[in-house]
Structure 1
Amino acid sequence: ILVIAAVPGHKSDQKILAQGKHSPFGRGTVGEKARDVKDSSLTIPHGKQGRVIGVKIFSRDKGDKLEPGIIKKIQIEIAQLRKIRAGDKLTGRHGNKGVISQIRAVEDMPHLEDGTPVDVILNPLGVVSRMNLGQVLETHLGFAAKKLGYRAVVPPFVGASEEEIKSEMESAGIPKTGKIKVYDGLTGEPFREPVMVGYVYIMKLNHLVEDKIHMRSTGPYSLITQQPLGGKAQLGGQRFGEMEVWALEGYGAAHTLQEMLTIKSDDVLGRSAAFESIIRGQDIRKPNIPASFNVLVSELKALGLGVDTVGGEDGEKDNKEEHDE
């Protein structure tokens, strides 16, 4: 509990205030009328942790601007130490951002002839697709500067030229290609081709997997489309877009695609029936027409176009009744 507070006028259980009553502030505020108050203590969100590094108190008496109806406001700053993990986002200085796919033991990493292990392995396709050659030049110059024992100052747009970098590499005894022999950490054998190695600045971005990771079984649905909401804050589902549909079509995964577009989305009757079947251990029944079709029909009606479903005994019966009317 960060701030203990009790709001009067709400009948609640004694257990709710058990945490607050253990402190002098809690006892003084609550008194003996614990049944007539509600616990409105400010607590850290579930699953979060950290160390309090600052407390700011704002009040109207001090002349602070607060929202209407608020007399006093307390802000608490919490610092968290987060070790880097797979899924976190890193970047260099040239827009060469990427996500960590694996973290391996240092003895398993590739190493140079003198036994120096590499810290980060980057995908070479990231250079071809983005065409940001600054990262290549930075790698070469950083390697040369490390060997010659100095730090290179490289201002934007007026940095070291290609010829200057080549000259520094030659002085440091690095091959003209900038590639050297690298050994596999698992087998100890050298890789078939020489590899570009060097020193670059790598920064950690504020896109951490711990904040982004999200999952959902059932949850809220949109009132209009009857499809699951989007986003972590709304406890939403994962968007299965047009290109993802093409991917499943390419694999011929017809049944997976069908359930993605029906019982996992806006087939209202089908998803309830599927949930019930799973609970009872029965086979999942065939899906129905998704609610998005009804939205399409409504759009067409707004254009003055009537749509009738034709086919099957039930459909013919419904249509006959509509035409009779």
Structure 2
Amino acid sequence: MEGRNLAAKQKSTAPARISFAKIREPQEVPNLLALQIESFDWLLGNDAWRARVGKNERPDRGEIPKQSGLEEIFEEISPIEDFQGSMSLSFRDHRFEPPKYSIAECKERDITYAAPLFVTAEFTNNVTGEIKSQTVFMGDFPLMTPRGTFVINGTERVVVSQLVRSPGVYFERTVEKTSDKDIYTTKIIPSR
């Protein structure tokens, strides 16, 4: 009986841990996905981004843009004019419809988790001043999951920034500033 009590006493008493660290508390791990998720929210101009714009909430990263990424892109490419300037096409007021399938269903069915993108297209006859406006389907736009990934053909994928170029041969032409001569350089990047 005494042997059992002695074994129980030895198991329950743990040695005291002594920390020699200069910082007593461990560092809090930042939300590493926040930058990608916030950036994608800005591109779409979704409700989460609009809420941040309303609160002007972006700690340590400056001011939040007032226009979404797609709004900026459509404004940048619009209007598209013919070579005579008599007709023009412009895009505005994009919207997304809810995705047809949930993330889990997309994985099961081997399809992409996406939402249909609709845009108001405005066709203008610059000669007569006639304007025709219509909402058009632009395509299925892949959506980011709450985990910061994309489901493409049923497989969950993550965006990884590529810091090094892919293997291959790269040619570059630069102009020498002093003599205005073309200088050609080649970089060979091996696969190993």
TM band (smaller chain)? under 0.3
TM-score, normalised by the number of residues in structure 1:
0.19
Give 1 or 2: higher strand fraction: 2
**Greater share of residues in helix:** 1
Task: Flag the structure with larger Rg.
Answer: 1
Bigger relative CO (Cα 8 Å, ≥ 6 apart) = 2
